[in-house]
Amino acid sequence: MKLSDMFSDPPVGKTSSLPKPEATGWTKRFIDDLAAKMAREVGYRSGEALEPIVTELGGRIVTGNVPETGSTGYVEVEEGGKFLIALSPIPGTYRNNFTIAHELGHYFLHSRLGEKPLFATRQAGHRAEWEANWFAAGFLMPAEEFVEEWEKAKGSIGHLINRYQLSGGAIEIRKKTLEELGHKFD
């Protein structure tokens, strides 16, 4: 193996001179609907792997070590629209699926599908981070479908974890959010 091969993937937690994402200011409901539309547009079906969608959009995913505790990953969108999503291997598949969709949220909402270069790491309390989370939930668990799946699962979170390939926490938060948005669960 050449030495250069060992350094081909950048470490998670690096810094960049690219601008930080700017919040759109759009409402939770609007972003939720938009994310479901985007999922349909790119042919994403809930529960499936996200990697093919990322590749299709001109992105790639790398996994690396996290030097800063609490950092789950980042996305960097270059001039020209190519992008890189970096993940920590530690949280596992379910958490990483949410993180990939969160980073796609920055790509769709804040870089406008690759038009604006940016570098986004998790910044607690920043509105752009909430927006990326709202996008991720809407993209991975579209509202109407989720309500149906919840009813089919008859209260089994385990069933929904398996159905969506997401953590129990993400499933619970999704239910709460949809109740806030006026969806009814039996």
Q: Which is nearer to Zn ion, 132 or 160 (CB)?
A: 132
Q: Is 31 in the site for Zn ion (CB under 5 A)?
A: no
By CB under 5 A, what part of segment 110-149 binds Zn ion?
120, 129, 132
Q: Which is nearer to Zn ion, 104 or 147 (CB)?
A: 104
Min. distance of Cβ 157 from Zn ion in angstroms?
25
The distance from CA 113 to its chain's CA centroid, rounded to whole angstroms, is 14
CA distance 32 to 66: 30
Number of residues counted as binding Zn ion (CB under 5 A): 3
Q: Which is nearer to Zn ion, 131 or 149 (CB)?
A: 131
Min. distance of Cβ 106 from Zn ion in angstroms?
6
Q: Which is nearer to Zn ion, 103 or 149 (CB)?
A: 103
Min. distance of Cβ 143 from Zn ion in angstroms?
22
Min. distance of Cβ 122 from Zn ion in angstroms?
5
- List interacting residues with Zn ion (CB under 5 A): 120, 129, 132
